A and B are shown apart, each in its own frame.
Chain A
Amino acid sequence: MPDPKMRRRDVLLGAGVVGASALPIAAPPAVAQPAAPAATPAKGAAPAAGPAPAGYTFLKPSEQAFVEAMVDHMIPADELTPSGTDVGLAIFIDRACAGSWGKGDRLYLQGPWKQGSANQGYQLPLTPAELYQRGIAGSNAYCRKTWGKSFDRLAAADKETFLKDLAAGKIMFAGGIPGREFFTMAYQTVMEGLFSDPIYGGNRNMVGWRMVGFPGVGANNAENIKKYNDGTRFTVEPLGIADFS
C-alpha cells in the first residue's frame, strides 16, 4: 500500500522497490521552478530577503530517510511535542554533521588505533560525520538482513527492537564498527537537537524547552529565586539567542 506520507525523496530512492540497482538513474527532481516575477522591482530596491530556508546540506537521501525515521521514532508527535522531524531534529543533525563538530573539531584523531576499554572512551578513527554515515549504512545493512528492509521502512515495533539492540551494544556492523558507538553519538545529537538553542535548527518554537518549562537564555533570577522558593512553579515564555539578537 502506498504510504500517504511518502516523500519525493522516497520516489527517487525507489523506496519499497526491491533491487534498487535496477533503477534508472534518477531524473532531476520534478520541482516546478517558478518563472521570475514579471514586474522587476523598482529601480534601486534589492529583492527582499526571506526567512532562512531549511533543507539538507550534508546528509544524502538515504541518510535523510534514516535520520527522519530515527528522530520521529524517538520523538513521536504526541500531546507534548510535534514529531522529531517537525521539531527540526533532522535538520539539526544535518547541520551538526556539516559543521566543525561533524568534521572532528576538538577530537584527537592521531593513530595508532586500538579498541581499548569503555573507560578509555571513543577510539575510532572517524569524525562524527563519518561515523553518522557509516553508522547509517551499517544500520540499514543490518535491518535489511534481519527484516528485509532499510530502517526507515520498518514497522514501529521493529524500529524499537533495532534501536534497543543498538543501545544495548548487541549489534556490530559489518566492517567492525560497534553499533553502540553510533548509537551513543546519535542519541546525544537527538538530545542536543531537542534541547539546544533553536538557532541551531532543532528545538523549533522551543518545544523542547516548553515541554519541561525551561526559560531559555534570558534568565535574570536574582529576584525570582526569592519569590519562587515555596514550591510554586515559575512559568515564563522562553527566549532563545535569536530573540536577543
Chain B
Amino acid sequence: MARKLPPVDIVIVGMGWAGGIMAKELGPTGLKIVVLERGGPRTTQDDFNIPQIRDDLRFQQRNELMMDVAKDTLTVRNNPSEEALPMRRLGSFLPGEGVGGSGVHWSGHNWRWADQDLKIRSNYEQRYGKKYIPDDMNLKDWGISYAELEPYYEKFEYTAGISGKAGNLNGKIQKGGNPFEGARKKDYPLPPLTAALATNMFTKASNELGFHAFPRPTSQMSKPFTNIDGQQLGQCQYCGYCEKFGCESNAKGSPHITVIPVALKNENVDLRTFSWVQKVLLDSTGKKATGVLYVNVLTGEEIEQPADLVILSGFQLNNVHLLLLSGIGKPYDPKTREGLVGANYCYQAGGGRTGAIQLFFDDRSFNPFMAAGGLGAVVDDFHYNQDFDRAKAGGYIGGATIAAGGSNARPINYHPVPPGTPQWGSEWKREVAKWYQGSVVVNGTGSVMPHPDNCLTLDPTYKNRFGQPLLRMTFDFHENDFKVMSHAVDMSAKIAKAMNPKMMFNNFSKAGWTSVPYQSTHNTGGAMMGSDPRTSVVNKYLQSWDVHNVFVTGAAVFPHNSSYNPTGPVGAMAFWAADAIKNRYLKNPGLLV
C-alpha cells in the first residue's frame, strides 16, 4: 500500500518548460502546489561547469542529460502490422530527465505557430477545396486562434529570451525578418545572433532568387539579458556545445535559470525531485482525479499525493503515457481507428537524415565550430507563405522551412566527406581533413500530417522498471510527408546551387522512419486539443474533456506537426492555460467550455 500524504491543492507532474511556467504562474495564488519531477536537481554551477560540460563523449554520445531508457523506454514499429520492439538505446529523439527537462539541452529555435497551423483544415478547405485533403488525414483546426495566443507568445519570448528580427510588426512587414510570420505586437527581446559566413552566403543566395531569408529566432542571448521576471542571462559565446548540452554562461533560455527559480521563491511551491509519477488516481466515477501515485526513486517507496487539480507537464510522450496508464479518455486503436488518446501522433521530417544538401567549398574556411544551437538563417517561403500554391508544388498539405547554419562541428559526429569516400584509412583522413572547414548544409525541415496508422498505445509485452507497460510508438512517414520533403529538397538544391559550391550532394530518400540516428525531439500529438469532446482529448484551455480537474500541457496537445519547432507554442499555451486556471478554473472548478 502506498503511503498517503496530506492533500494539496495542485500537483504538477514534471519540471521542464511547461511545468516551470505553470509553477511560476500559479505560485502567487498561495495555494499549496507540489511539483513532482522524476529526475534530479540541476544548477549551472555544478552541472554545466567548464570544462566538464564541454564533453562530447559524455553528453552527445552517451546522452547523460537525457532520459535513461534502461528505466523507461518505448517500443517502436513502422506500422500496426509489425511487432513493436523496445527502443533499447536513445536515438531518434532525446527527451530530458531532471529539473529543467529537455529545456536545459534544447537548441532554442523559437517560432510562433499562427493560424496557418491553428486553423489548418479551414485554410485548406477554403483555398484548395474539401477534396484536396485526403480522406484518411485527420486534419483538424485546433480550436484556438493566433489572436488569442499572441500575448502569450510574447510572454514566452520575453521569459526565455529570444534573439531574432521581427518580420511583421503590427501588420507592417519588416525588411530582413520573416514576412510570413503572424503579426506581432513587439519585436523580439534581443537582436539576432552574429551571422557566420555560411549564413550570410545562404541569405544572399536565397534573396537573389527572390526568397526571403531571415535570421533564425532562437534562445541564445545575442547580448546579456534580463527577463520579465528579473532573471539575468549571459551573452552567447558561440562555443558549439549547445544542443544536447547545458550552458555554462546561462546564455541559453532554460527553465532552470528562468521560470523555475522564480516559481520556487513562492514558499507554497514544493519541488520534489526523484519523484516518478506512475499514474493519475481517479475517484469511483472515473470523472474526477483525486491525486497522483508516485515512486520516490531513491528508496522505491510508493506514495499517494492527493490533490484537487493535476497538471500533466511531462514531455509529450510522458503525458500521453500517463493518460493511457491512468485510464483518462478513450485509448486510440489503430485497427478500428476509434478512440482519441494516442491518436494523431506526428513527428518531423528532415533533421539532417533526409532532405539535406551537403555543399563543399575548397576556397574558404567556415570555422563551423563557432556555432550556437539556433545560429543560422531560414527561408519560410514554402511553409508559412499563404500565397505559395501547394497544388502546383506536388499537391501537399503543410510545408518545409529551409535553413543553413549549424549548431556545432564537434568532430565525433561532424566530419563531412563527399559520398564515395572510404570509411577509414589514410584516404578517409585526408578527405576529412580537407573538407572539415569547407562544408555547409542546406536542409529542409518538413511538417508531418496525421495518418491513421501513426499513434501511441500501450505495449502488450514490454515493461518499464516499475512493471508498467511501455508506451508503444507506431510511426512512419507517408505520401504527404514525402511530397513536402521532395519539394523542399528541390528548393534547397536551388539555393545551394546559387551559393556556388565546388560540389554538392543530396541525401533525399523515401526511406521509412528509423528510431536510430538523432533527428529531432519534436514529437507531437496523442492528446489533441479541439473544440469538440468527440474529436479531441483536451479543450482550448488544455483541460481534459473527460476529467475536468486534469490539464495536459506540451506538444501532446498538437493535432498535427508543423515544420516549426514546438516549444514556442508549448510555452505560450502553458501561460495561456495557467491564466485560465488562475482566473477562471480555481474560482469555479468545472469545464471551462
A interface vs B, CB < 8 Å?
73-76, 78, 80-81, 101, 104-110, 112, 114, 116-123, 160, 163, 167, 187-188, 190-192, 194-197, 200, 208-209, 211-222, 224-226, 228-234, 240-241, 243-245
- By the criterion CB–CB under 8 Å, are B370 and A228 in contact? yes
Nearest first, the 5 A-B pairs at minimum CB distance are A231-B364, A233-B365, A74-B424, A217-B54, A244-B51
- By the criterion CB–CB under 8 Å, are A117 and B88 in contact? no
A190 and B68 alpha carbons, distance in the complex (Å): 24
List which B358-395 residues lie within 8 A (CB) of chain A.
363-367, 369-370
Tell yes or no: B4 within 8 A of A by CB.
no
A144 to chain B, nearest CB (A): 23
5 contacts between A and B (CB under 8 A): A73-B424, A114-B83, A214-B436, A224-B370, A244-B51
| Interchain CB contact (< 8 A) of B409 among A114, A214, A241 | A214
| Interchain CB contact (< 8 A) of B425 among A74, A105, A122 | A74
| Interchain CB contact (< 8 A) of A241 among B52, B63, B461, B514 | B52
Question: Considering only CB atoms, which chain B residue lies closest to A241 in the complex?
Answer: B51
B555 to chain A, nearest CB (A): 22
B95 to chain A, nearest CB (A): 13
Question: Considering only CB atoms, which chain A residue lies closest to B517 in the complex?
Answer: A121
- By the criterion CB–CB under 8 Å, are B370 and A221 in contact? yes
Task: Enumerate chain A residues within 8 angstroms of B143, measured Cβ to Cβ.
Answer: none
- Between A81, A105, A106, A216, the greatest number of chain B beta carbons within 10 A of the residue's beta carbon is seen for A106
List which B59-93 residues lie within 8 A (CB) of chain A.
61-63, 68-70, 73, 76-78, 82-91
A143 to chain B, nearest CB (A): 17
- By the criterion CB–CB under 8 Å, are B463 and A119 in contact? no
**Which candidate, B15-23, B34-42, B332-340, B427-435, is the interface stretch facing chain A?**
B427-435
B81 to chain A, nearest CB (A): 12
A230 and B364 alpha carbons, distance in the complex (Å): 8
Task: Enumerate chain B residues within 8 angstroms of A240, measured Cβ to Cβ.
Answer: 51
- By the criterion CB–CB under 8 Å, are A101 and B412 in contact? no
Knowing A196-B56, A208-B411, A228-B367, the reply to whether A222 touches B51 (Cβ < 8 A) is no
B218 to chain A, nearest CB (A): 14
B91 to chain A, nearest CB (A): 6
A111 to chain B, nearest CB (A): 9
A-B contact count (CB 8 A): 192
Task: Enumerate chain A residues within 8 angstroms of B90, measured Cβ to Cβ.
Answer: 106
- By the criterion CB–CB under 8 Å, are B412 and A192 in contact? yes
- By the criterion CB–CB under 8 Å, are A108 and B86 in contact? yes
Bitwise, B80-124 to A at CB < 8 A (1) or not (0) is 001111111111000000000000000000000000000000000
- By the criterion CB–CB under 8 Å, are A101 and B62 in contact? yes
A195 and B436 alpha carbons, distance in the complex (Å): 13
| Interchain CB contact (< 8 A) of B85 among A123, A221, A241 | A123
Number of B residues contacting the other chain (C-beta, 8 Å)? 70
Tell yes or no: B499 within 8 A of A by CB.
no
- By the criterion CB–CB under 8 Å, are A192 and B57 in contact? yes
Tell yes or no: B29 within 8 A of A by CB.
no
A84 to chain B, nearest CB (A): 9
- By the criterion CB–CB under 8 Å, are B514 and A212 in contact? no
- By the criterion CB–CB under 8 Å, are A232 and B429 in contact? no
A232 and B370 alpha carbons, distance in the complex (Å): 13
A80 and B431 alpha carbons, distance in the complex (Å): 11
Known contacts A122-B89, A221-B240; can you find 14 more A-B pairs with CB under 8 A?
A78-B426, A80-B433, A106-B90, A107-B89, A108-B69, A110-B463, A117-B78, A197-B55, A214-B369, A214-B410, A222-B236, A224-B238, A228-B367, A229-B195
B interface vs A, CB < 8 Å?
50-52, 54-57, 61-63, 68-70, 73, 76-78, 82-91, 194-197, 200, 235-241, 363-367, 369-370, 409-413, 415, 423-426, 429-430, 432-433, 436-437, 461-463, 512-516
- By the criterion CB–CB under 8 Å, are A214 and B411 in contact? yes
Knowing A217-B54, A231-B197, the reply to whether A112 touches B436 (Cβ < 8 A) is no
Knowing A114-B83, A228-B370, the reply to whether A119 touches B197 (Cβ < 8 A) is no
B540 to chain A, nearest CB (A): 36
- By the criterion CB–CB under 8 Å, are A225 and B196 in contact? yes
- By the criterion CB–CB under 8 Å, are A80 and B429 in contact? yes
Task: Enumerate chain A residues within 8 angstroms of B363, measured Cβ to Cβ.
Answer: 231
- By the criterion CB–CB under 8 Å, are A231 and B365 in contact? yes
Task: Enumerate chain B residues within 8 angstroms of A106, measured Cβ to Cβ.
Answer: 62-63, 68-70, 89-90
- Between A163, A167, A196, A240, the greatest number of chain B beta carbons within 10 A of the residue's beta carbon is seen for A196
Task: Enumerate chain B residues within 8 angstroms of A225, measured Cβ to Cβ.
Answer: 194, 196, 238, 367, 370
A160 and B423 alpha carbons, distance in the complex (Å): 11
- By the criterion CB–CB under 8 Å, are B89 and A80 in contact? no
Task: Enumerate chain B residues within 8 angstroms of A188, measured Cβ to Cβ.
Answer: 61
- By the criterion CB–CB under 8 Å, are A219 and B237 in contact? yes
- By the criterion CB–CB under 8 Å, are B239 and A220 in contact? yes
- By the criterion CB–CB under 8 Å, are A244 and B88 in contact? no
A74 and B57 alpha carbons, distance in the complex (Å): 20
- By the criterion CB–CB under 8 Å, are B424 and A108 in contact? no
- By the criterion CB–CB under 8 Å, are A219 and B369 in contact? yes
- Between B82, B87, B194, B462, the greatest number of chain A beta carbons within 10 A of the residue's beta carbon is seen for B194
A121 and B200 alpha carbons, distance in the complex (Å): 38
Knowing A80-B433, A224-B238, the reply to whether A229 touches B197 (Cβ < 8 A) is yes
- By the criterion CB–CB under 8 Å, are A121 and B237 in contact? no
A141 and B592 alpha carbons, distance in the complex (Å): 69
- By the criterion CB–CB under 8 Å, are B54 and A110 in contact? no
- By the criterion CB–CB under 8 Å, are B85 and A116 in contact? yes
Question: Considering only CB atoms, which chain A residue lies closest to B415 in the complex?
Answer: A212
A245 and B68 alpha carbons, distance in the complex (Å): 28
- By the criterion CB–CB under 8 Å, are A195 and B411 in contact? yes
Task: Enumerate chain A residues within 8 angstroms of B196, measured Cβ to Cβ.
Answer: 225, 229
B440 to chain A, nearest CB (A): 12
A131 to chain B, nearest CB (A): 12
A112 and B462 alpha carbons, distance in the complex (Å): 8
A81 and B369 alpha carbons, distance in the complex (Å): 21
